[in-house]
Amino acid sequence: MMHYSRADRVSGLIQEVLSDILKKDVADPRLKMMTVTAVKMSADLKLARIYYTTYGGQKKIDAVTQALHGAHGYIKKKLAPQLGLRYMPDLKFFYDDSFDYGSRIEELLKTVATENGTDHTSN
């Protein structure tokens, strides 16, 4: 049986509750188009690094980043009572570019496969 650290449990809880808050409580339409992909907690539970993604290019990313900055206090206020922690961790938001990176690699592989005449995408 695998044991998880308290930071792992808290990060999972933050991700779940934050996703719910963004879906139900936040009125800003820019934040409706984002997905929380991961939350990484510091060992002392004082910092939560929240990774998110959105679609629509750099303009959408910038809009979501700006909306998150503006809603930071509201998000902390809504999140704090649901976590049950003695201290509310500081929230830092980071754009998760791993999906973009994966898509780019997939496109490159398709290009190479097509150029080599081994396009097996239509099964």
| Closest C-alpha among 100, 121, 99 to residue 110 | 121
Give the per-residue pLDDT at 119. 54
Structural domains for the chain: 6-115 (3.30.300.20)
Task: Report whether pLDDT(16) > 90.
Answer: yes
Contact (Cβ atoms closer than 8 angstroms) between residue 40 and residue 90 = no
41's enclosing H/E stretch is: strand 34-41
When the pLDDT of each residue in the chain is averaged and rounded to a whole number, the result is 86
Task: Report whether pLDDT(4) > 70.
Answer: no
Give the per-residue pLDDT at 68. 93
What are the tens digits of pLDDT across the range 44-88? 999 999 999 988 888 999 999 999 999 999 999 999 999 888 889
